[in-house]
Amino acid sequence: MKSPIHLQEVKMRKLFWLLLAAVVIYSGYWMIGAKGTESAIAAWIDSRASEGWQAEVADIKTRGFPTRFDTEIREPQLADPRTGVALSTPRIEILSQSHRPTRFTLRMAPEVTLASPYQRLDITQDLAEAQLFVDPGPSLTLDHAALSLQNMRVASTATWGFTLESGVITTQRQADDPLTHDIALHVEGFAPTGGLIDGLDPEGLLSDRFEALDLDMQATFDGPWNIHALEGPRPQPTHIDLTTLSAHWGELDLKLAGAFDIDARGYPIGKLAIKAENWREMIELAISVGAIPENMSNLTLRAGEMLAGLSGRKDTIDAELTLKDGMISLGFIPLGPAPRIVIR
């Protein structure tokens, strides 16, 4: 008969070999996951290069054993020949927990350069980080995300720029309509710099920064936001339901709400309710930047006075903007061309 000590030793040996097997299996899983991540990124870059992109990286490394997959892409340089947009930065980090591969963090280096055929943007920030939650599978379809920005500075070779104290953008795909996302934005301390403030406010009507900018809307796109959206044509918005857009800049206070479709050319079609305090300064600002033609300035100001009179306060307009045929109208007064809403 075996002694209790001998039986205990047998149990301990079995436990040891069981733990060792578990460590080996998990180590293999981590190595496969790490190499798979690096291979997938390298394959994506090679595919872009074969399509005519400039797509180069100095190195791709994954660390974080045993609980994390933290991948660093060093010195990426990407340029899309279709849009002419190019990105370069010292590094991009993709961070995730090994047991949650569909939940990861995308973190940019403190310096980023974006270039187009028209200008180059030199961007610095203390923080530019996105939390991304995607569906399982090779397409990595976005379910929800949150982007955080801290102390961002943007300088353009076209002599304009801005600084931003903080910004948060969130998006959540709707469960019953996977092509529609609930999108919210909150920005504090947005300050134009360089020639931008002079172009926006040549008469010195405003303070030097937005105190706050808030956006809450639902946007429907013509396709899903997934890995393929980075490779080919971007999903384009087809309908926007604007719950609120509010901006407070010095003495100006602006609120918009409404809904509109977006046609194949990118022009909005619909109506927006507008409430504008100190509206006269807003119209003068729009005239100064060319958004309202100079030959329409007197008519627009008279129309504003009439609309403000209807609202009961001379400094407040409470009216409706019409978006149609590529134009914006305030009541019966045409204000000028509507912006094209196109994602490059």
Mean pLDDT over the full length of the chain: 85
Tokens standing for residue 275 = 């409430």
Q: Following DSSP, what letter does each residue of 295-315 receive, concatenated?
A: GGHHHHHHHHHHHHHHHT-TT
What pLDDT, on the 0 to 100 scale, is given for residue 207?
Answer: 67
Tokens 């403030």 -> residue: 197
Strand partners, 72: 61, 93
Which band of pLDDT confidence, cut at 50, 70 and 90, is reported for residue 5?
A: low
Q: Among 5-9, 61-65, 178-182, 207-211, which range has the highest average pLDDT?
A: 178-182
What pLDDT, on the 0 to 100 scale, is given for residue 92?
Answer: 96
Tens-digit pLDDT profile for residues 180-234? 999 999 999 888 887 666 666 655 656 677 778 899 999 999 999 998 888 778 8
> 331 burial class (0-12, 13-18, 19+ CB within 10 angstroms)?
middle
What pLDDT, on the 0 to 100 scale, is given for residue 324?
Answer: 93
Check whether 1 has a pLDDT greater than 60: no
Tens-digit pLDDT profile for residues 280-338? 777 776 676 666 766 767 777 777 776 666 655 666 777 888 999 998 887 677 777 88
Q: Of 145-154, 233-242, 250-259, 314-323, which range is least confident?
A: 314-323
Give the DSSP H/E element, type plus range, for residue 198: helix 196-200
In this structure, the chain runs to a length of 344
Residue 108 CB-half CA count within 13 A: 21
